[in-house]
A and B are shown apart, each in its own frame.
Chain A
Amino acid sequence: MLAACGITSAEQLFEQVPASARIDHALNIPPGLSEYEIADTFKALGAKNAVGYASFLGAGVYNHYRPVVVDTIVSRGEFLTSYTPYQSEISQGTLTAIFEFQTMICQLTGMDVANASMYDGSTAVPEAAMMAVRVTKRNRILVARSVHPEYRDVLNTYAKNQGLPVEEVGYDNETGQIDLNDLEAKLNGETACVIIQSPNFFGIVEDTNAAAERAHAKGALLVFTFAEAVSLGILEPPRAADIVAGELQSFAISPSYGGPFAGIMAAKEQFIRQIPGRLVGATKDTNGNRAFCLTLATREQHIRREKATSNICTNQALVALMATIYMELYGKQGLRELATQNLSKARYLAGKLKPRFSGPSFNEFVAVTADPEDVNRRLLDRKIIGGLPLAKYYPELSDGVLLCATEMTKRADMDALAEVFHS
């Protein structure tokens, strides 16, 4: 190969790099390890984390069982090691799977169109807000304070740099739902959208229709977000929303210390050309056979450059595929049964504790206790990770702990947790 290149040493290839830019030392990284040593290293790192604990953490990341079939399929090299499906003729596997994904997201959310996925829920929300700004040509964003605090953080980062004022709408101190009076007071002719989450960060199901009515009355869009996708197995879909931007981690995506996850973006038909990210469409090939391809690329960065709807250039294809397989395995009946199990477990736990809010909750709720951190410390002694103390995110709820129960939560652990709460 060197001879074919007319050189005697591969080092000559780097002569184009000015000597002053080149490094004259070895990288400060130790020599390579064998496969066995790598596995060993990471096993040791894994063992330094919580292993063998029962956990009541939710708050945007949920413990649901991952059927074995999911990894069987996503480990196939044809899915794992392929690129973004620009070349339709040799990407129909990925494209067909995405088309099914988009369809099921529409069926779950009651929207007309859905894209091929977003990075995650926290980044889907600001993308939805920016979409609402484009659609309405207004620039104020209202976001419920009961939307996931980290989603709001990311929204603020995006909005700040585009001169989009973001204002929070409070929650009802009794029900834990959005304060509709506060919403009405803050809505005006400059409001592009109202962002609500349901179940919200406190686990409470919102009155989506009521929020939508008020937003629409002022010409604003309703952006609906969710962090717990399993809830859609049982809850009425947010048909009154204009844009739905949420998180699919619950669908066979392991918690993995917070990522990679997959977000979704779905909307009413009339907004299809304002949706950011990839879209797969159905068409035919030259033989008249059904085929799929990436479509409406004129919205995107590689065509429109600085005028694109977003700078996003990938979706989360492999992670979205996990969710696709999961939805197909559970199906119509399974998702409902799964959701009912989650609801039942959480209600059992709530029955043993003091819930802070009266609104209807799904698989999470805020419990009140004098010293949440102390309760959590005592739970750790029993190999239980308690809920999330809310003081850090909601100083006014410093006696609140956000607890979650899923189909994986055992009754014995719930009984043990309740015991510690009451001792």
Chain B
Amino acid sequence: MIPNKVRSHLVQNEDLIFEQSSPGKNGYQLPPLDVPEVDPAEALGAANVRATIEDFPEVSEVEVIRHFTRLSTWNYAIDLGMYPLGSCTMKYNPRINEAVARIEGLAWAHPYQPESLSQGVMEVTERLEAALLAITGLDAITLQPAAGAHGELTGILLVRAFLEAQGNPRKRILTPDSAHGTNPATAGIAGYDVQNIRSNDQGMIDLEELARAVDTDVAALMVTNPNTLGVFEENIMKAADILHSKGAMVYMDGANMNALVGIARPGDFGIDVMHLNLHKTFSTPHGGGGPGSGPVAVKKHLEPFLPTPRLHRKGDTLTWDYNRPQSIGKVRAFYGNFGVLVRALAYIYAHGGPGLRNATVDAVLNANYLRHRLRPYFDLPYDRPNMHEVVFSDDRQSAKGVRTGDMAKRLIDYGFHPYTVSFPLIVHGALMIEPTETESKRELDQFVEAMIAIATEVDTEPQTVLKAPHMTRTTKVDEVTAARKPIVRWKR
């Protein structure tokens, strides 16, 4: 029996836009040309001009609106309910952020317009840099990286450049076995070998294992704190000492920064370089998978290597400094995902210092509330106070043939997005749950009821869970065929 969060309703069917196209239709208007019209073949040479864009759609404006409105109803979204994806920090996206990002002087600023006519956008950058440095306790920051993984790459390139300047870039990056997949992938792209470090029986960095692994060939340890179990690495400062004693550095993946803002600063617990995800901690919308933004903050010794250009204030005037001989260069054209930076700054202004800390406290309280409410029903492999997220395992349910992925799909029928499935890898059959601070107790309680109902179903009617979801417009999809015979475009 499904609790009262959802009820079925009519959903429109909708064909692909190409299947609705008919010749001669369009959804645009251009003003009449105020200059003589040029014949493209004459101007460009006939060989350079295409005959047509074969099979490109031809539809009216109202058809476009209906098309995407109908498609939109096939999506789940934060605006529809809780999105408990661990490590993803799916919090409410305030709409004032969207409004200010569209202010003309900001949205239509050209990256090459004169600096004298760009002081406002540069001030947005300056103010956000200052706020993020206050939050991280680090010394310098670049806002250029376009996403979290891009920030990771930037951070590791900084480490590499620093070590190279000392004569030896070194060979290896250490990553805990609980790390996000992007960490080892980043190390590989940056030209490093990756060495996995086993966690201890508490799921934390094993200091002895770490000490054995660290030598003068190690460039850095990439660590997530709180780690992917949602627990603060209590030995982080000792770990940093081990790395630093061999001239290596500590990189922090800031995916879980929502647990620390206003409480603890990476700059104070031994971190040399880290990235932030503005689309997680600072509420900018995920948008179905981007745009993100991944600023990278560093200790002073890495500052000379930050990407060009760097923002400088000379009295009343802000300027971009390109004369940075030790810089790693550019990691993206222009100055990063500026529109995302505007939204993040608006979020910081709405909260203010005290409000940001309150948000952290609420996020951690919500996650601990879920741990206490759900622990009678699900196995908790690391039973200890958590920060912003909690990780259960499916041990009890998988004994009855139902796995974490099955229960996640069943959660959809109850009106929720699934939690993160099977991650971190160190927990067998993980259910990784992050509620964020923006969920009310009422929504959390509905989620708890849904989880308890599913746990009961595993005992009484496991087939219902195994065949879920039942209520969605689209049922389970055949991903195997999709990968075996990939069809990645429509064809007539």
Contacts and interface: CB of A to CB of B under 8 A. Distances in A.
A67 B331 contact: no
A200 to B, nearest CB: 13
Interface stretch (A135-143, A178-186, A215-223, A276-284): A276-284
A257 to B, nearest CB: 4
Contacts of B45: 360
Contacts of B333: 60, 120-122, 148, 150-151, 153-154, 258
Contacts of A187: none
A50 B150 contact: no
Nearest to B93: A81
Interface string A161-204: 11100000000000000000000000000000000000000000
A301 B152 CA distance: 13
A364 B51 CA distance: 22
Interface residues of A, number: 190
A113 B361 CA distance: 46
B332 A119 contact: yes
Contacts of A312: 147, 149-150
Contacts of B474: 88-89, 92, 285, 289, 291
Contact of B71 (A38, A93, A295): A93
Nearest to B335: A258
A301 B71 contact: no
B85 interface: yes
B290 interface: yes
Contacts of B92: 81
Interface in B352-392: 352-357, 361-362, 364-366, 368-369, 371-373, 384-385, 387
A360 B43 contact: yes
Interface string A199-211: 0000001000000
Given A16-B384, A84-B286, A257-B109, A23 B137 contact: yes
Contacts of A122: 330, 332-333
Contacts of A77: 77-80
A340 B441 contact: no
A5 B292 CA distance: 34
A343 interface: yes
B285 interface: yes
A317 B356 contact: no
A318 B285 contact: yes
Given A236-B49, A316-B290, A328-B59, A38 B27 contact: no
Given A82-B78, A343-B44, A283 B290 contact: no
B377 to A, nearest CB: 14
Given A69-B61, A120-B333, A28 B27 contact: no
B451 to A, nearest CB: 15
B37 A10 contact: no
B289 A317 contact: yes
Interface string B73-115: 1111111100101001010110010111111111111111110
A149 to B, nearest CB: 9
A233 B52 CA distance: 8
Contact of B329 (A42, A160, A233): A160
A349 to B, nearest CB: 8
Contacts of B369: 1, 4-5
B53 A233 contact: yes
B387 A16 contact: yes
Contacts of A2: 365
Contact of A85 (B17, B98, B289, B336): B289
A259 B146 contact: yes
Interface in A327-371: 327-341, 343-345, 347-348, 360, 362
B372 A5 contact: yes
Interface in A249-305: 254-260, 262, 272, 278-287, 289, 291-293, 295-298, 300-305
B340 A94 contact: no
A136 B30 CA distance: 45
A26 B483 contact: no
Interface stretch (B210-218, B231-239, B243-251, B454-462): B231-239
Given A67-B28, A90-B75, A257 B110 contact: yes
Interface in A86-113: 87-94, 96-97, 99-100, 102-104, 106-108, 112-113
Contacts of B131: 29
B1 interface: no
Contacts of B30: 334, 337-338, 341, 407
Nearest to A259: B337
A308 to B, nearest CB: 4
B16 A99 contact: yes
B182 A236 contact: no
Contacts of A289: 474-475
A116 B289 contact: yes
A47 B93 CA distance: 25
Nearest to A28: B134
Contact of A33 (B52, B98, B105, B350): B350
A266 to B, nearest CB: 10
Contact of A42 (B79, B93, B100, B263): B100
Given A18-B234, A87-B76, A360-B44, A281 B185 contact: no
Interface in B179-216: 180-182, 184-191, 194
B287 interface: yes
Interface stretch (B116-124, B295-303, B393-401): B116-124
B288 to A, nearest CB: 4
Contact of A49 (B79, B113, B373): B113
B68 A82 contact: no
Interface centre among A46, A84, A310 (most CB of B within 10 A): A46
B199 to A, nearest CB: 16
Interface centre among B54, B328, B385, B477 (most CB of A within 10 A): B477
Contact of A27 (B48, B71, B134, B475): B134
B321 interface: no
A328 B64 contact: yes
B236 A21 contact: yes
Contacts of B334: 61, 150, 257-259
A89 B330 contact: no
Contacts of B191: 161-163
A285 B44 contact: no
Contact of A47 (B21, B71, B120): B120
Given A23-B264, A78-B79, A285 B478 contact: yes
A61 B107 CA distance: 12
Contact of B263 (A14, A44, A67, A156): A14
Given A318-B290, A329-B64, A411 B56 contact: no
A80 B77 contact: yes
B73 A93 contact: yes
Contacts of A388: 112
A136 to B, nearest CB: 18
B339 interface: yes
- Counting from the closest, the 8 A-B pairs by CB-CB distance are A258-B334, A318-B287, A46-B105, A77-B79, A48-B120, A32-B352, A260-B291, A122-B333
29 contacts: A14-B364, A20-B237, A27-B262, A28-B134, A31-B354, A38-B350, A45-B103, A45-B120, A53-B117, A79-B72, A90-B412, A96-B74, A97-B71, A99-B490, A100-B18, A113-B489, A119-B146, A157-B331, A234-B50, A235-B48, A258-B333, A286-B476, A293-B479, A305-B181, A316-B291, A329-B26, A332-B56, A334-B27, A343-B38
Given A13-B361, A103-B490, 7 more contacts: A14-B263, A99-B489, A99-B490, A119-B150, A150-B333, A285-B475, A328-B27
